[in-house]
C-alpha cells in the first residue's frame, strides 16, 4: 500500500540530492580538465585525439550544467525517475573522457603520468561516491567508466608496482561499491521515516480537522436544539403564569390552557424527533423486513398527506404500481412521510409525485418523491442533511420545522441498506430517490392496510399496576389511567408490587419506571413481577418499561428480555395507543405476530409506537 508513495518520495529526494551537487561538480571538472591538460602539456601524445578527447570532456561538462539549469527552471518537466536517468546519462558522457584518457599516459614518455592521472581519477571517483552514491544507476555507470580502464592498463603493464597499484585500485573500486550500497539503504530508511512522519502529521491534521468540524457541528446542534426547546418552554412559562391572573375569565383560562397544551405538544414532537435521531444513531432501531405490496404503503402515506396537499392547492399523484418489495414498512413509512411532508411544505403550486421506478434494476428498483416546489440550491445539497439545518429559516420559526426531517430520512435509508440521492435546483423542484429490494408476492403474509381487529382495544375496566419511585409521576399516571376507566394500583418499588400481586391484584398491564430506588432497575423489577404473575397463573399480563435512558446497551438488554420500552416524555395518547396495541397482541397470541417493528413481544423500543405515536400494523 505504502510502497509507491515511498518510492516516489525516494526518487524526489534523490533528484534533489543529485542535482544539488552539479554546480560544484561543474567547477571540479574544469579543475580536472586544467590539471590533466597541465600534466600532459610537455608531451602530448596523439595531439588530435587528445584535443578531441578534452574538447568532448569540456562539452559534456557544459551539457551537464545545461541539464542542471533545465531542471532548476522546469522541475516538473519530467517525472523524478526520468530526471535520475537523465542525470546518469550526463554522468556517462562526463566521465568517459577522464576515464579513457589515461590511455595517453601509457603512451607518453613520462613514466609518472599514469600515476598522476590515476590520482586524479581516484579524486573524481571519491567525488562521485559523495555526490552520486545514493543512486545505484548514477553510481554504477560512473565508477566503472572512471576506474576500469585505469585498472586494466596498470595490470597490463606487467610491472610489480603497477600491478600493486591495479590491485589497490580494484580494492578501492569494490570498497566504494559496498559503502555506496549501505549508503543507499540508509538513505532509503531516512526517506521512509520522513514519509511516515509526514503521513502521520497529515493524518493527525486531518483527524484534527474532523474533530474540529464535529465539535462545531455539535455546537451548532446544541445552539439550535436549545433555541428550539426554549421557545415552547418560554411560552409555557408565560402562559402558566397568566393562569394565576384573578381577573381572567374562565374562557380566557380555557384558551390559555389550550395554548399550553399546544406548546407541550410542540415540545413533545421536537423531543420525539431528537430521540428518533438518537435512537437511529445509537443503532437500537431494528429493521424488520417483510414482503408487501408497495401500492398499499403508497396508499396509506398518500391518504395522510392528500388533505394537506389539497388545502394548499397541490395535486398529490401516486403512480400506480404492482411492485412487491421486501423491506421494513414501518421505517419506510417514516421515510415517505418525512419526504411528503417536506414536498407539501416547500411547494407553492404544481404537483407532488410519488412512485416506484425499476430504472434498469432487475432486483428491486427505486422509490422517488418529486415536487415542483422551490427547489434547493446545489451548495445546500450536503448541508440540508445536517441536524437542525434549514435553508431559509434564520429566525428559527418552529412552524417551519426544525431541520430534523432529512437527517432522519437519510439515516433511515442508510439503515435500510440504501443511499438517498437528491436532484434539485432553485425553482425547478426536488426529487428524492432511494433503492428498495424486490419482494416475493408468494410470501406476503397480510395486507398493510388491514384494519386492526377491534378485539379488546378499550382500556375500560383494565387493571394496571404502576411502579415508580417518584410520587408525582405515580400520581399523574394513576389519575390519567383512572380517567380512561382503568383500575390502578400505584406502588413505589418491586417489593410493594410483589406484595400487591400476592394480595390478589391481577394486573392486565404493569407499567414500570426504569430507574428505581435502591439501585434496582425497572428491568429487574419487571422480571421479578413477571415471574410472580406466572406463578399466579396470569399469562396475559403485558409489561411496559418507561425510560429516559438512551444507552443502547441497556436497551439492547431490554429488547433481549422481550420488554417493550417507551421513552420519556410519554404523551397520554402514546401511552394509550401502546397499551391498546399490547393488549390487542396479547389477546391474539404472540404466535400470530407478523413482526412489524417494535412488536409487543419485544424489540428495542421501540418501535414506532414509541417513536412516532403510530401503531405498528400487524
Ligand atoms: P424541516 O423541518 O426544516 O423541513 P428537513 O430536515 O426536513 O427540515 O429539511 C431541511 C431543509 O431542507 C428545509 O429547511 C428546507 O429548506 C430544505 N428542503 C427539504 N425538503 C425540501 C423540498 N422538498 N423542497 C425544497 N426544500 C426542501
In which band, very low, low, confident or very high, does the pLDDT at 395 lie, cut at 50, 70 and 90?
low
- Pick from 282, 300, 320: which residue ends a domain? 282
Task: Ligand 1 pocket test: pick from 391, 395, 424, 427 the residue with the most ligand atoms within 8 Å of its Cβ.
Answer: 391
More confident residue, 593 or 272: 272
Same domain, 195 and 117: yes
Mean pLDDT highest for which of 128-137, 547-556, 586-595?
128-137
CA 384 to centroid of ligand 1, rounded, Å: 7
- Pick from 282, 313, 329: which residue ends a domain? 282
Task: Ligand 1 pocket test: pick from 345, 389, 406, 422 the residue with the most ligand atoms within 8 Å of its Cβ.
Answer: 406
The pLDDT of 341-367, averaged and rounded, is 92
Same domain, 469 and 412: no
At 72-88, the pLDDT tens digits run 999 999 999 999 999 99
At 318-342, the pLDDT tens digits run 999 999 999 999 899 999 999 999 9
DSSP letter (8 states) at residue 521: B
- Predicted confidence at residue 393, as pLDDT, reads 67
- Predicted confidence at residue 27, as pLDDT, reads 95
- Predicted confidence at residue 497, as pLDDT, reads 93
More confident residue, 98 or 519: 98
pLDDT reading at 366 higher than 90:
yes
Q: In this structure, what C-alpha cell is assigned to residue 53?
A: 578527447
Distances (CA, A) of 409 to 31, 334, 405, 421, 425: 78, 8, 6, 11, 20
Pocket of ligand 1 contains residue 408 by CB under 6 Å: no
Same domain, 554 and 601: yes
Residue 218, in any domain of the structure: no
CA 346 to centroid of ligand 1, rounded, Å: 7
CB 463 within 8 A of CB 486: yes
Q: In this structure, what C-alpha cell is assigned to residue 543?
A: 409489561
**Strands lying side by side in the sheet with 565-567:** 487-491, 463-467, 509-513, 542-547, 565-567
Q: Domain limits at 294?
A: 290-443
pLDDT reading at 145 higher than 80:
yes
Closest to 28 (Cα-Cα) out of 125, 170, 133, 138: 125
CATH code (residue 468): 3.40.50.2300
Residue 500, in any domain of the structure: yes
CA 437 to centroid of ligand 1, rounded, Å: 26
Residue 273, in any domain of the structure: yes
Q: Whose CA is nearest to atom 13 of ligand 1?
A: 390
Task: Ligand 1 pocket test: pick from 403, 420, 432 the residue with the most ligand atoms within 8 Å of its Cβ.
Answer: 403
- Predicted confidence at residue 588, as pLDDT, reads 64
At 7-24, the pLDDT tens digits run 888 899 999 999 998 999
Residue 219, in any domain of the structure: no
Pocket of ligand 1 contains residue 346 by CB under 6 Å: yes
Same domain, 418 and 523: no
Counting from 1 in the atom list of ligand 1, the atom nearest the Cα of 402 is: 2
DSSP 460-512: TT-EEEEE-S-HHHHHHHHHHHHHTT-EEEEESSHHHHHHHHHTT---SEEEE
CATH code (residue 231): 1.10.287
The C-alpha atoms of residue 520 and residue 336 are separated, in whole angstroms, by 41
More confident residue, 559 or 511: 511
- Predicted confidence at residue 251, as pLDDT, reads 87
At 240-270, the pLDDT tens digits run 888 888 887 888 888 888 888 888 888 888 8
Q: Whose CA is nearest to atom 3 of ligand 1?
A: 403
Closest to 365 (Cα-Cα) out of 291, 439, 290: 439
Give just the sign of the alpha carbon dihedral 255, 256, 258, 263. Answer: positive
Same domain, 179 and 52: yes
Distances (CA, A) of 199 to 152, 191, 206, 460: 49, 12, 10, 69
Q: In this structure, what C-alpha cell is assigned to residue 534?
A: 406466572
pLDDT reading at 464 higher than 60:
yes
Q: In this structure, what C-alpha cell is assigned to residue 486?
A: 382503568
Task: Ligand 1 pocket test: pick from 384, 385, 428 the residue with the most ligand atoms within 8 Å of its Cβ.
Answer: 384
CATH code (residue 317): 3.30.565.10
Residue 455, in any domain of the structure: no
- Pick from 443, 473, 503: which residue ends a domain? 443
Same domain, 235 and 121: no
In sequence order, what are the residues at sequence separation of 6 or more whose Cβ sits closer than 8 angstroms to the Cβ of residue 487? 461, 462, 463, 464
Size of the chain in residues: 618
- Average pLDDT over all residues of the chain: 86
Pocket of ligand 1 contains residue 224 by CB under 6 Å: no
Closest to 334 (Cα-Cα) out of 597, 600, 599: 597
- Predicted confidence at residue 3, as pLDDT, reads 52
Same domain, 110 and 82: yes
Distances (CA, A) of 28 to 35, 124, 172: 10, 8, 21
> Strand pairing of 324-327 and 290-293?
antiparallel
The C-alpha atoms of residue 406 and residue 331 are separated, in whole angstroms, by 14
At 45-74, the pLDDT tens digits run 899 999 999 999 999 999 999 999 999 999
More confident residue, 398 or 461: 461
pLDDT reading at 615 higher than 60:
no
- % of the chain beyond a pLDDT of 70: 89
Task: Ligand 1 pocket test: pick from 339, 346, 373, 427 the residue with the most ligand atoms within 8 Å of its Cβ.
Answer: 346
In which band, very low, low, confident or very high, does the pLDDT at 285 lie, cut at 50, 70 and 90?
confident
Distances (CA, A) of 210 to 440, 467, 577: 43, 45, 43
- Predicted confidence at residue 610, as pLDDT, reads 37
At 598-609, the pLDDT tens digits run 333 333 333 333
Same domain, 151 and 68: yes
More confident residue, 449 or 314: 314
Cell 586524479: give the residue. 120
| pTM, rounded to two decimals | 0.55
Distances (CA, A) of 159 to 109, 155, 166, 219: 16, 8, 10, 89
CA 406 to centroid of ligand 1, rounded, Å: 7
Pocket of ligand 1 contains residue 529 by CB under 6 Å: no
Residue 100, in any domain of the structure: yes
Same domain, 81 and 175: yes
Q: CB-based burial of residue 200 (10 Å sphere; 0-12 exposed, 13-18 middle, 19+ buried)?
A: exposed
Pocket of ligand 1 contains residue 29 by CB under 6 Å: no
Same domain, 302 and 382: yes
- Predicted confidence at residue 595, as pLDDT, reads 36
More confident residue, 577 or 478: 478
DSSP letter (8 states) at residue 430: E
The pLDDT of 114-118, averaged and rounded, is 94
The pLDDT of 161-174, averaged and rounded, is 94
CA 164 to centroid of ligand 1, rounded, Å: 90
- Predicted confidence at residue 406, as pLDDT, reads 95
Residue 449, in any domain of the structure: no
Residue 228, in any domain of the structure: yes
The pLDDT of 398-416, averaged and rounded, is 88
Same domain, 276 and 362: no
Same domain, 30 and 61: yes
Pocket of ligand 1 contains residue 473 by CB under 6 Å: no
Number of structural domains found in the chain: 4
pLDDT reading at 417 higher than 60:
yes
Amino acid at each position: 500500500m505504502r510502497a509507491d508513495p515511498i518510492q516516489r518520495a525516494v526518487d524526489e529526494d534523490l533528484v534533489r540530492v543529485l542535482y544539488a551537487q552539479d554546480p560544484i561538480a561543474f567547477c571540479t571538472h574544469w579543475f580536472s580538465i586544467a590539471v590533466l591538460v597541465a600534466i600532459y602539456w610537455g608531451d602530448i601524445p596523439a595531439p588530435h585525439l587528445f584535443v578531441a578527447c578534452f574538447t568532448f570532456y569540456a562539452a559534456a561538462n557544459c551539457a551537464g550544467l545545461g541539464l542542471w539549469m533545465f531542471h532548476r527552471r522546469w522541475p516538473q518537466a519530467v517525472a523524478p525517475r526520468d530526471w535520475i536517468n537523465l542525470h546518469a546519462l550526463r554522468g556517462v558522457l562526463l566521465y568517459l573522457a577522464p576515464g579513457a584518457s589515461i590511455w595517453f599516459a601509457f603512451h607518453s614518455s613520462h613514466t609518472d603520468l599514469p600515476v598522476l592521472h590515476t590520482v586524479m581519477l581516484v579524486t573524481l571517483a571519491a567525488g562521485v561516491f559523495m555526490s552520486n552514491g545514493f543512486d545505484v544507476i548514477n553510481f554504477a555507470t560512473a565508477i566503472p567508466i572512471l576506474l576500469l580502464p585505469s585498472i586494466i592498463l596498470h595490470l597490463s603493464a606487467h610491472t610489480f608496482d603497477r600491478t600493486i597499484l591495479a590491485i589497490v585500485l580494484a580494492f578501492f573500486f569494490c570498497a566504494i561499491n559496498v559503502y555506496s550500497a549501505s549508503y543507499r539503504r540508509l538513505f532509503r530508511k531516512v526517506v521512509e521515516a520522513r514519509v511516515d512522519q509526514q503521513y502521520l502529521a497529515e493524518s493527525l491534521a486531518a483527524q484534527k480537522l474532523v474533530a474540529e468540524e464535529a465539535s462545531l457541528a455539535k455546537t451548532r446542534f446544541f445552539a439550535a436544539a436549545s433555541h428550539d426547546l426554549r421557545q415552547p418552554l418560554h411560552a409555557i412559562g408565560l402562559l402558566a403564569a397568566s393562569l394565576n391572573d384573578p381577573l381572567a375569565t374562565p374562557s380566557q383560562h380555557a384558551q390559555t390552557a389550550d395554548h399550553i397544551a399546544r406548546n407541550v405538544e410542540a415540545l413533545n414532537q421536537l423531543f420525539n424527533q431528537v430521540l428518533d435521531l438518537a435512537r437511529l444513531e445509537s443503532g437500537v432501531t431494528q429493521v424488520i423486513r417483510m414482503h408487501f405490496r408497495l401500492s398499499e404503503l403508497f396508499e396509506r402515506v398518500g391518504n395522510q398527506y392528500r388533505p394537506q396537499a389539497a388545502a394548499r392547492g397541490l395535486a398529490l399523484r401516486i403512480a400506480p404500481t404492482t411492485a412487491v418489495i421486501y423491506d421494513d414498512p414501518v421505517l419506510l413509512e417514516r421515510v415517505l412521510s418525512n419526504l411528503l411532508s417536506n414536498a407539501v411544505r416547500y411547494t407553492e403550486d404544481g404537483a407532488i409525485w410519488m412512485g416506484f421506478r425499476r430504472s434498469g434494476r432487475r432486483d428491486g428498483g427505486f422509490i422517488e418523491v418529486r415536487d415542483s416546489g422551490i427547489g434547493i440550491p446545489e451548495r445546500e445539497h450536503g448541508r440540508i442533511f445536517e441536524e437542525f439545518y434549514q435553508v431559509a429559516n434564520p429566525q428559527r420559526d418552529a412552524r417551519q420545522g426544525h431541520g430534523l426531517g432529512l437527517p432522519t430520512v437519510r439515516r433511515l435509508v442508510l439503515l435500510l441498506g440504501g443511499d438517498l440521492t437528491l436532484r434539485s435546483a432553485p425553482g425547478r423542484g426536488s426529487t428524492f430517490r432511494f433503492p428498495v429490494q424486490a419482494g416475493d408476492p408468494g410470501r406476503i403474509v397480510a395486507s398493510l392496510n388491514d384494519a386492526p381487529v377491534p378485539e379488546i382495544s378499550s382500556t375500560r375496566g383494565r387493571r394496571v399496576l404502576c411502579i415508580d419511585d417518584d410520587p408525582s409521576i405515580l400520581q399523574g399516571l394513576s389519575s390519567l389511567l383512572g380517567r380512561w376507566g382503568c383500575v390502578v394500583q400505584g406502588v413505589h418499588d418491586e417489593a410493594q408490587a410483589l406484595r400487591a400481586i400476592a394480595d390478589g391484584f391481577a394486573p392486565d398491564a404493569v407499567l414500570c419506571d426504569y430507574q428505581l430506588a435502591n439501585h434496582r432497575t425497572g428491568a429487574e423489577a419487571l422480571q421479578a413481577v413477571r415471574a410472580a404473575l406466572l406463578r399466579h397463573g396470569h399469562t396475559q399480563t403485558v409489561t411496559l418499561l418507561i425510560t429516559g435512558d438512551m444507552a443502547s446497551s441497556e436497551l439492547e438488554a431490554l429488547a433481549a428480555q422481550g420488554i417493550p420500552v417507551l421513552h420519556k416524555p410519554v404523551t397520554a395518547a402514546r401511552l394509550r395507543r401502546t397499551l391498546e396495541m399490547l393488549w390487542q397482541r396479547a389477546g391474539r397470541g404472540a404466535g400470530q405476530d407478523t413482526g412489524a417493528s417494535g412488536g409487543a413481544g419485544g424489540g428495542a423500543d421501540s418501535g414506532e409506537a414509541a417513536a412516532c405515536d403510530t401503531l405498528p400494523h400487524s
